[in-house]
Amino acid sequence: MDVREGSGVVRGESTLPAVPESVARARRLLDQFLSGAGVALETRFDAVVVAGELLANAVTHGSRPGDHIEFDYAVGSGAIDLCVRDCARRRSVPVPLTADEQRPSGRGLQIVDRLAVWSERIVGGRREVRARIAIRDRPDPRDDGAVSRDESDGRETPIEFADRAARNEEVFRSVNERIEEGGERHGIESPMPFHCECDSSACFDRVEILPRDYRRVVDERYHFVVVPGHDDPRIERVVEEHDTYSVVEKIGEAREALDRQHPQQRHQP
């Protein structure tokens, strides 16, 4: 990662192999970069989600084995700017789709639409997708008083967890499905790094899991993969334990929030 400063703007850039594993790596690089620039957690979360979607699209739809992706990022006084360039193996313009039974993985750019202003063009034979995320003037949720917390362990209340679970169902599941799709496209049959689907927006940890095993989890409406120990018994129960990941099932308020806010017909019984 190369970082430069100038004119009140801090910039960074990375060149990554066009493989699914690069998505998780780039998300970590971006989070570290934004944290070092003093960006609050909530805005970092939005930026990392947008970057994950753009990078996963670049790997899955714009690249072939052996290609590389360029990832540029910058922080100014009021916004975070991201730029992802791929080899434009497919010349169609990305469009935000509505997720439904026929297009279950179509929510990625819909999420980007809500979090950023973005554009796409072909430059010198490469596809260039740019996104701008406004820096929100909000305190870091880990700071005292930022959100309501359970005094016993500093975690969010169950109601807040339920809302977080519903958001993660939309955000992390969408990014992970693109990683899975990229793995299938590149013929990967070994364990891959998927994003932990726990309730914390501060978590950027990864779980190593076979793509076919991840698909098995996804096919169960209320099941999610998390890093061992990232489960919270107030909103979920552990149904499987493995060396590199656990599978949890949402219960109670979190389960109701999933059905209410983000129904997915293909997962419903």
Is the same domain home to 120 and 207? no
Is the same domain home to 123 and 179? no
Q: What domain range includes position 70?
A: 2-134
Give the number of other CB atoms < 10 A from CB of residue 105: 15
pLDDT tens for 105-150 read 445 666 788 788 999 999 988 999 999 999 875 444 333 333 333 4
Count the domains in the chain.
2
Is the same domain home to 121 and 224? no
pLDDT tens for 170-228 read 677 777 877 777 777 777 788 888 888 887 766 778 888 988 899 899 888 889 999 99
Is the same domain home to 230 and 118? no
**Average pLDDT along the chain:** 77
Provide the residue type at 212 as one letter.
R
Is the same domain home to 17 and 73? yes
Q: Is residue 22 one of the residues assigned to a domain? A: yes
pLDDT tens for 9-58 read 889 999 999 988 888 889 889 988 998 888 887 788 889 888 988 998 89
Distance CA 16, CA 1 (A): 10
CATH, residue 50 = 3.30.565.10
The better pLDDT of the pair 2, 77 is held by 77
pLDDT tens for 61-75 read 888 889 999 999 999
Whether the predicted model's global pTM rises above the 0.85 cut:
no
Q: What token pair was written down for 230? A: 């990232």
Is the same domain home to 19 and 98? yes
Is the same domain home to 176 and 78? no
Closest C-alpha to 27, from 211, 205, 227: 205
Is the same domain home to 62 and 164? no
Which residue(s) pair with 132 in the sheet?
81, 117
Consecutive H or E run containing 248 = strand 246-250
Q: What value does the CA radius of gyration of the chain take, rounded to a whole number of Å? A: 18
Is the same domain home to 106 and 171? no
What per-residue confidence (pLDDT) applies to 192?
84
What per-residue confidence (pLDDT) applies to 106?
47
Closest C-alpha to 116, from 32, 29, 54: 54
Q: Is residue 147 one of the residues assigned to a domain? A: no
pLDDT tens for 90-115 read 755 554 444 443 343 445 666 788 78
Q: Is residue 62 one of the residues assigned to a domain? A: yes
Alpha helices in the chain (DSSP H): 21-36, 41-61, 108-115, 158-185, 211-218, 252-261
Is the same domain home to 105 and 193? no
